Amino acid sequence: MRSIIGKFKLALALFALVSFGAVNNSSADWGGIVSYQEDVYPIIHFRCLSCHGEGDVGTVQSGLNLETYEGLMKGTKHGPVVIPKNPLISNLNVLVEGRAKVRMPHNRKRLTPCDVEILHRWVQQGARNN
């Protein structure tokens, strides 16, 4: 009898460990919340800011300054490039996904599928400054 209870306890402990692991991993999962600060900004920093900082060619030509969240949300001189919850019509996504004649980064290597997905999910989740 004792050994059955012992085995049950062991199974319970193992189950708890496994499910804790699953919960613990979920933030790194694709189903998790995408963060502007941790996920989106690093992509912009390394792949866009060489042309979209103050006075740079992309900013001067389009009016889109990507140095800050506010700049990204303000968009170009023609209007917003991010429509929260709607990556299908957000120019940010259209351009990095190669859905228009012009592609971004302009004349540079395209973003990795992973980076494209991060930007897509972030807009889908409401494009928050999180």
Smallest separation, CB 15 to ligand HEC (Å): 44
> How many residues sit in the footprint of ligand HEC (CB under 6 A)?
24
Between CA 124 and CA 16 the distance in angstroms is 33
How far, CA to CA in Å, does 84 sit from each of 44, 57, 91, 129?
A: 17, 26, 11, 11
Binding mask 97-126 for ligand HEC (x = CB under 6 A): -----x-xxxxx--x---------------
Does residue 50 interact with ligand HEC by CB under 6 A? yes
The answer to the question of residue 64 lying near ligand HEC (CB under 6 A) is yes
Least distance from ligand HEC to the Cβ atom of residue 67, Å: 12
In the complex, least distance from residue 9 CB atom to ligand HEC, rounded to whole angstroms: 53
The answer to the question of residue 40 lying near ligand HEC (CB under 6 A) is: no
For the chain, the maximum distance between any two Cα atoms, rounded to a whole number of angstroms, is 79
